[in-house]
Amino acid sequence: MAVVVPTSQLTFSCRLLRQLLRREQDNVFASPASVGLALGMVAAGARGSTLAALEQTLGIDAKLAANRAERLFASLKTLPPGVTVELANSLWARSGLPLSQRYAAAMRESYRGEVRSIDFTLASAPTIVNDWVSRATHGRINSLVDSIEDAAMLLLINATYFHGRWASPFDEKRTIDHEFATASASVAQVRMMQKSASFSYMDDSDVQAVRLPYKQGRFHLLVVLPRARLSTAAFDAIAQPESMTRILASLRERDGFLGLPRLRLGYTADLVPELAEMGMALALTGDADFSGIFDGNVGAFISRVLHKTRLEIDEQGTTAAAATLVEMSLGTSIMAPAPFEMIVDRPFLVALIESETDLPLFIGVIGDPTAR
């Protein structure tokens, strides 16, 4: 069999998932498309080493990301019956911010972005933003942001919505109660949908996988089931781009029986730690260069990357929604940091460091200062 090289989109998706698996939560459900579009909008205004860091994280250069976004929007003009895919981008600038007109025009052209100005100090500002997200996700995500930071100067948001009806629905009369062994080693009761049919399927000594098409077959759901119960973090090997590519290339038509849980779940994460690990650390500091976004000497960095998703699977099909918010704040060269409070009233780390070489001579964690 010929070697199939993972695409840049699959590689980015797997890298993001593998980072999130490290959190060891029972559920991880992210939208690489939503995150990629939001970061692409940011990359369009980055320069120098900051741009390189963003491109390393995305796995493609900013111009290609913009071109890919344009092609994606164009492809969604023709969708099969029974499938809805909607993407929406918006840019919310603090009132009075010297936003580059060239950058604003690029957001409208390549990313179909709405460019708005808003007074972030208004108590209603988060509600205005959340109402936009709710409309764009058909009410699946109603609250993306609880508050807007005092130093925030720009919000870039992507909303992604998918609804697809199965090409071959499950029969609701065959859905039964069934036990489910969770990632945390407990047992839950689920409603298990069941179907006997011909599936696009593969298996080996480690996993079974099935592909479930939606109407007309342009979109599908891939389900990969390990042979044994794994913790969430233990899915790292399966989530490797090469592993996922191999699984997809090995699918073949085969008769069989499928039991799939009906589910409805939500997921929330601030992706800053994961994106830093993926190569974006510079863009998250005061040394970031986003001079392509603003006119004049405006220092800015990415302060938050909020991501929320919803997933619903039932006998008729699937509904999924995602929203990604990239918050950009004033750099320290423009605004002094707020006074901090540090009360060492819990276990803490100490390090005795030789200052010229930054060599730690001693390092430890103090859990009980009263111990002798």
Average pLDDT rounded to a whole number, residues 321-339: 70
- Which pLDDT belongs to residue 1? 40
Q: What token pair was written down for 293?
A: 């976004």
Architecture of domain 172-262: Roll (2.30)
Strand, helix or coil at 22?
A: coil
pLDDT category at 368 given cuts 50, 70, 90 is low
Does pLDDT of 333 surpass 60? Answer: no
Average pLDDT rounded to a whole number, residues 282-301: 88
Instruction: Name the residue ranges covered by the structural domains of the chain.
Output: 8-165+264-330, 172-262
Sign of the Cα torsion 6, 12, 13, 18 reads positive
Cα 78 to Cα 86: distance, rounded to the nearest angstrom = 12
DSSP-derived letter for residue 215 is G
Cα 367 to Cα 372: distance, rounded to the nearest angstrom = 12
Q: What token pair was written down for 130?
A: 């959340």
> What is 8-165+264-330's CATH topology?
Antithrombin; Chain I, domain 2 (3.30.497)
- Which pLDDT belongs to residue 70? 92
Contact in structure between 91 and 112 (CB atoms under 8 Å): no
Helix, strand, coil percentages (3-state) for the chain, rounded to 5, are 30, 35, 35
Which pTM value belongs to this model?
0.86
Residue 5 class from Cβ within 10 Å (0-12 exposed, 13-18 middle, 19+ buried)?
exposed
Does pLDDT of 255 surpass 70? Answer: yes
**pLDDT tens digits for range 204-250:** 999 888 888 889 888 888 888 888 888 888 888 888 889 888 888 89
Does pLDDT of 332 surpass 70? Answer: no
Does pLDDT of 334 surpass 70? Answer: no
Domain 8-165+264-330 shares a fold with domain 172-262: no
If you average pLDDT over every residue of the chain, what do you get?
84
Contact in structure between 129 and 152 (CB atoms under 8 Å): no
Sign of the Cα torsion 96, 101, 103, 105 reads positive
| Amino acid identity at 151 | A
Average pLDDT rounded to a whole number, residues 361-369: 42
Length of the chain counted residue by residue: 372
3-state SS, one letter per residue, for 46-101: CCHHHHHHHHHHHCCCHHHHHHHHHHHHHHCCCCCCCEEEEEEEEEEEECCCCECH
HSE-up of 237 (CA within 13 Å, CB side)? 7
